[in-house]
Structure 1
Amino acid sequence: MKGKTGKGNWNLSLILKANKLGLPSVILLCSFFFLAGFYASTFFSLVSVPDSSGARPRSRLLDSVNEEESHYNLLNSGETGDDSITSIPFQVLSWRPRALYFPNFATAEQCESIIKLAEPRLRPSTVALRPGETADNTQGIRTSSGVFISASEDKTLDFIEGKIARATMLPRIHGEAFNILRYEIGQLYKSHYDAFNPAEYGPQKSQRMASFLLYLSDVDKGGETMFPFENGLNMDGSYDFKDCIGLKVKPRKGDGLLFYSMFPNATIDPMSLHGSCPVIKGVKWVATKWIRDEEQND
């Protein structure tokens, strides 16, 4: 009758096998299993577990890593380059249109400083007029208050402008002055394009190729930036430009949104149509930087 194989017999069998393999072989095997377990545990610790929404938590990256603090063998930069690695975290929200989200792009103190600078200078916002349009027959399209402020006027805006240039790889000289906007309850901006269609607005010296929105405040309810034509939806001609549908980006203080109005071949992306949903509760502050395809002098 065979006895049950117990823990003691199992250990004994390992010892007998070890004697057959020889001590050096046993050491090699132990080293192999140790290293395999170590690297496996490291791998699984790096793979994050999706949250209830299905999205994986994203690591916060350092904005700048000094050469002395990194293990990278950095190259010598050109005269206009940086001597450190710049890592600005972002999330691709959409490829149609191309829209990217930048969490914590600015600090709360920077946002409050920009609001304090702009608030005394606000005036009712205006829109670019097509031939035949007037300020009277375009009322209600854009109901915010705003002011244009050059980055050269303020050190905080100057810093933010430089960071936008690094994030977009589009030169600062191509950017317009910041348009600082305030939307109060009920105020909105109906769907529109930032690029100007020459067929509607006439010949253009340059075009707004990209837009960067820096949200300066949280909004309790409403105020989202929306893209109703995302992925080709709602383009059958029945869409009402005041409707707040499609891809919607909730304003959060310090976060940034970059989207491109033009394709690389310099044609307007029809899916870049966007607007600002009405603010329902709270106040929305945003700093907009329009970036053109040619140098600007503001």
Structure 2
Amino acid sequence: MARSKYVLPFIAFVAVGMAIGLLFQLSFFWRLEEFSGTNHWENDKESALLRLGFVKPEILSWSPRIILFHNFLSMEECDYLKSISRPHLEISTVVESKTGESIKSKVRTSSGMFLSSKFRQIPIIKAIEKRIAVFSQIPTENGEAIQVLRYETNQYYTWHHDYFSDPFNLKKGGQRVATMLMYLNDVDEGGETIFPQVGSGECSCGGSKVKGLCMKPRKGDAILFWSMVCDPIPCLLRFSCTV
């Protein structure tokens, strides 16, 4: 009987302790779930700047390396880039390999402009450039200025490499090893970026079937691809298609 006097209080003590422990554990898991949600990230300036919780990476190809980032830009960022660039758009040019000069060419019929150092001091532009640096793992100072391009009906950029083959650009800023394309509009028809050397299937370019991988523009999405491998050897060809 004496022994039972001690056993029952001990069992009660253990049961209460287990209940308290369970409550603490549930509270811990609840906090983890809360912190992993978008609301917690939005209150963190760095996470909000990088759009953590919104950007969703999708590997399209490992060799060559091509990554699609869904929701890389917000709708407001897309509209802002269009609004500040619209008054400054000029006919796009290509680099003349023998002289290094920018010249007009039939291979590229879009219009565009580069964001100057003045634009790059704007907080929203600085945020986008930092986001590009983090997701590409290439420092901002190693990147070129953002170029905003507009393709209208029947405009295009024919088959081309994004790496440099002329000595002028190589001397000026070094080799372009990777490119990040950010789409500012949804497009009903056409507008695809095509990688003809990727995959063995077919895809649609402006309603026509072509070989390779086709990327359809979706507002806010971005595509990151590498044009060089470690040798370095050029490895990727692309084409911009419109209707």
TM-score (norm 1): 0.57
User: For this pair of structures, how many residues does the alignment match?
Assistant: 192
Which of 223, 226, 229 is the matching residue for 1:260?
226
Which of 199, 223, 239 is the matching residue for 2:191?
223
Question: 5+ residue gaps in structure 1?
Answer: 1-60, 70-81, 235-242, 281-298
What is the identity, as a one-letter code, of the residue corresponding to 2:167?
Answer: G
Which of 159, 162, 168 is the matching residue for 1:191?
159
Show the 5 A alignment for 1:42-53: none
2:216 is the alignment partner of 1:250? yes
Deviation, 1:274, is 0.3
Deviation, 1:264, is 2.5
State the Cα deviation string for residues 178-225 of structure 1 (Å, max 9, x = none). 11000000000001111113xxx2372310010001100011100101
> Does the 8 Å CA contact 1:125/1:143 hold for their aligned counterparts?
yes
Report the secondary structure of 1:96's partner residue. Answer: coil
What is the identity, as a one-letter code, of the residue corresponding to 1:211?
Answer: T
State the Cα deviation string for residues 102-159 of structure 1 (Å, max 9, x = none). 00111111100110000000000001112279878x6320000000004524322211
Aligned partner of 2:84 in structure 1 is 117
Measure, in 2, the Cα distance between the counterparts of 1:164 and 1:133: 27
Report the secondary structure of 2:94's partner residue. Answer: coil
Which of 113, 123, 127 is the matching residue for 1:159?
127
Percent identity between the two aligned chains:
36
CA pair 119-261 structure 1, distance change in 2 beyond 3 A: same
RMSD: 3.1
Report the secondary structure of 2:177's partner residue. Answer: strand
Question: 5+ residue gaps in structure 2?
Answer: 1-35, 203-208
Measure, in 1, the Cα distance between the counterparts of 2:187 and 2:210: 16
Which of 70, 89, 96 is the matching residue for 1:129?
96
CA pair 191-163 structure 1, distance change in 2 beyond 3 A: same
Aligned partner of 1:93 in structure 2 is 60
Measure, in 1, the Cα distance between the counterparts of 2:37 and 2:229: 30
Q: Which has the higher helix share?
A: 2
* Higher alpha-carbon Rg: 1
State the Cα deviation string for residues 16-52 of structure 1 (Å, max 9, x = none). xxxxxxxxxxxxxxxxxxxxxxxxxxxxxxxxxxxxx
Aligned partner of 1:277 in structure 2 is 241
Measure, in 2, the Cα distance between the counterparts of 1:255 and 1:248: 14
Aligned partner of 2:115 in structure 1 is 149
Measure, in 2, the Cα distance between the counterparts of 1:174 and 1:64: 33
> Does the 8 Å CA contact 1:244/1:277 hold for their aligned counterparts?
no
> Does the 8 Å CA contact 1:98/1:259 hold for their aligned counterparts?
yes
Measure, in 2, the Cα distance between the counterparts of 1:258 and 1:194: 12
Aligned partner of 1:178 in structure 2 is 146
TM-score (norm 2): 0.69
CA pair 231-156 structure 1, distance change in 2 beyond 3 A: same
